[in-house]
């Protein structure tokens, strides 16, 4: 056999690896090629033991040079990646520093404006336990410098939030927990206590969202719209599809309002005091997705197959709505994740696509590819792990009973602050789910050496492809989804897992042993 044939396989591997970009050292490559050319100059006879031994030694040297070239290329790639991450982190810190300085200026302006208000006004706002708004309903009153124009937005109802535990109001001042501005809820941090909503002025406008293609839902919607208009004298907003259905049934529903385009949807939170959903949890997800910012309180009626977020019974809608409109009511603040896709071509961390808000979870999976997903995960500036499996789920605590539960994640009370980190079919025996604090930012990146692309889906829709170098950045959104409780958040949660999942349902073991005397 000729020496040329002996080294053919080794030379073929070297060429394949060079095509894949692993051999980046020119000097090492040239040394290996020189050895191979030496081996190819003359054939080696089978009885020439010394030449055979020498050729094997040269092949060993060639393999060692190839491994050295691969190691050098890998080290250079890793160094380039860390340099890129360092530059991104530095730009991020500079951006945060700029925002901090800008916020300090705005805080100074706000303090100066608040200093000019009267002490009586401050006592009325902050003297009681809870949060209130003094800017929502002016009823056409004029300030000393300007006159407030009465329009459709000034009819928005005012309410306050307070915390209670075991029936007693907490003495803690709540301006550092929940802020209230013109009927919009936003939180800086969570409270472990039950939240109560009390109307300070009567609600004026209700938005009704329904599950499509359901005759029973259409009938209930028509009855509810008529009752709210005739008995409660409320303005009603519905989707364009629902308004068409109502007008097809009767022209008496011409008082119902709707919207024409997406620009009007973005202003709904300024017009609507209360949202009523008729359907299952999917209808609640749809209602939350309509509001890209603050969300009005939602009253979800159960008309679907599962009811983890829909505690109200449609048969008693009059009694339920009457209680909600009078108040006070217990609510659950369900936080959402804000997700940004950062493409590899982005110049910095802030050059992202339009953010997407999810109430349940964002899922990164392998799509139709036969390869395992390979994902690098970071929590703030700390490396978490590499995911090799079918994918990864980043879930809110409200979504803990959805896809995360099916993948082996824990069921978590919706008011527990946290982000669920749940792998999907990981190819590892020790990969267990995590629950991370809600204030962190999670970055999931598809590395350049991944065998295939990944796909991200948001609450089960809006799938986006993630190519090598792309990343998904997730953090908790500042605008929660407040949902009304039938009893309170804990009672509703436990009832939902008992009725929806038959959690720990088991026949009781019979007692047939000896009794102690």
Q: Which residues are catalytic?
A: 281
What is the full DSSP assignment across 208-274?
EEE-SS-HHHHHHHHHHHHHHHHTT--EEEE-HHHHHHHHHH-GGGGG-B--SSHHHHTTHHHH-SE
Find out whether 361 and 506 touch, Cβ atoms under 8 Å.
no
Question: Which two structure tokens, joined as six digits, stand for 164?
Answer: 């209670």
Cβ atoms of 344 and 350 closer than 8 Å: no
Write the DSSP string, 60-72. HHHHHHHHHHHHH
Residues 45, 83 contacting (CB under 8 angstroms): no
Dist. CA 218–CA 303, nearest whole Å: 11
**Spatial contact of 164 and 297, defined as CB atoms under 8 Å apart:** no
Q: What is the CA radius of gyration of the chain?
A: 31
Longest CA–CA span in the chain (Å) reads 110
252: exposed, middle or buried (C-beta count within 10 Å: 0-12, 13-18, 19+)? exposed
User: Please, which residues have CB within 8 angstroms of residue 176's CB and are 6 or more apart in sequence?
Assistant: 188, 189
Taking the C-alpha atoms of residue 364 and residue 341, their distance in angstroms, rounded to an integer, is: 12
Residue among 356, 362, 365 at smallest CA distance from 396: 362
Q: Can you tell me the distance from the alpha carbon of 301 to that of 280, in angstroms, rounded to the nearest whole number? A: 7
Q: Give the SS3 label for residue 312.
A: strand
**Separation CA 24–CA 17 (nearest Å):** 10
Instruction: Look up residue 41 and give its two tokens.
Output: 């100059």
Q: What is the token pair recorded at 459?
A: 């609450």
Q: 177 Cβ partners below 8 Å, 6+ apart? A: 163, 187, 188, 189, 191
Strand 329-334, strand 461-466: pairing = unpaired
Give the pair of three-digit tokens for residue 256. Answer: 């119902």
Cα separation, 400 vs 407, whole angstroms: 10
State the sign of the Cα–Cα–Cα–Cα dihedral 393, 478, 472, 431: negative
The alpha carbon dihedral of 362, 371, 81, 432 has a sign of positive
Tokens of 22: 């692993």
Instruction: Write the CB contacts of 409 (distance below 8 Å, at least 6 apart in sequence).
Output: 393, 395, 400, 420, 422, 433
Half-sphere exposure of 491 (CA within 13 A, CB side): 11
């Amino acid at each position: 056999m000729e020496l040329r044939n002996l080294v053919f396989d080794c030379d073929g591997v070297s060429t394949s690896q060079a095509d894949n970009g692993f051999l980046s050292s020119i000097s090492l490559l040239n040394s290996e090629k020189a050895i191979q050319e030496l081996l190819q100059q003359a054939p080696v006879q089978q009885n020439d033991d010394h030449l055979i031994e020498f050729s094997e030694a040269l092949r060993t040297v060639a393999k060692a040079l190839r491994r050295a070239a691969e190691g050098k290329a890998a080290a250079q790639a890793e160094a380039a990646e860390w340099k890129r991450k360092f530059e991104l982190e530095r730009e991020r810190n500079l951006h945060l520093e700029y925002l901090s300085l800008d916020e300090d200026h705005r805080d100074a302006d706000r303090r100066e404006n608040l200093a000019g208000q009267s002490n009586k006004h401050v006592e009325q706002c902050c003297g009681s336990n809870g949060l209130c708004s003094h800017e929502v309903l002016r009823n056409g009153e004029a300030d000393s410098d300007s006159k407030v124009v009465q329009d459709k937005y000034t009819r928005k109802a005012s309410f306050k939030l307070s915390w209670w535990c075991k029936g007693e109001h907490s003495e803690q001042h709540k301006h550092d927990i929940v802020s209230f501005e013109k009927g919009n809820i936003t939180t800086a941090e969570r409270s472990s206590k039950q939240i109560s909503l009390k109307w300070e002025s009567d609600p004026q406008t209700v938005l009704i969202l329904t599950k499509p293609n359901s005759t029973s839902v259409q009938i209930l919607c028509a009855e509810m719209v008529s009752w709210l208009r005739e008995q409660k004298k409320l303005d009603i907003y519905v989707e364009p599809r629902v308004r068409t259905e109502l007008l097809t049934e009767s022209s008496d529903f011409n008082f119902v309002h709707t919207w024409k385009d997406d620009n009007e949807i973005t202003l709904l939170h300024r017009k609507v005091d209360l949202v009523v959903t008729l359907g299952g949890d999917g209808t609640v997800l749809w209602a939350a997705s309509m509001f890209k910012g603050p969300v009005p309180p939602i009253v979800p009626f159960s008309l679907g197959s599962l009811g983890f977020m829909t505690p109200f019974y449609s048969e008693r809608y009059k009694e339920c709505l009457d209680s909600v409109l009078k108040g006070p009511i217990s609510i659950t603040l369900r936080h959402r994740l804000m997700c940004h896709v950062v493409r590899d071509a982005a110049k910095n961390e802030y050059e992202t696509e339009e953010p997407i808000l999810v109430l349940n979870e964002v899922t990164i999976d392998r799509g139709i590819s036969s390869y395992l997903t390979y994902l690098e995960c970071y929590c703030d500036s700390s490396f978490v792990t590499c995911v090799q499996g079918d994918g990864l789920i980043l879930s809110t605590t409200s979504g803990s009973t959805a896809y995360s539960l099916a993948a082996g994640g824990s069921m978590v009370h919706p008011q527990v602050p946290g982000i669920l980190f749940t792998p999907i079919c990981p190819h590892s025996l020790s990969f267990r789910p995590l629950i991370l604090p809600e204030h962190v930012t999670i970055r999931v990146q598809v590395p350049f050496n991944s065998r295939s692309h990944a796909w991200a889906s948001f609450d089960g829709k809006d799938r986006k492809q993630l190519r090598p170098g792309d990343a998904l950045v997730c953090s908790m959104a500042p605008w929660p989804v407040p949902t009304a409780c039938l009893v309170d958040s804990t009672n509703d949660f436990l009832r939902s897992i008992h009725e929806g999942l038959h959690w720990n349902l088991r026949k009781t073991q019979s007692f047939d042993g000896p009794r102690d005397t």
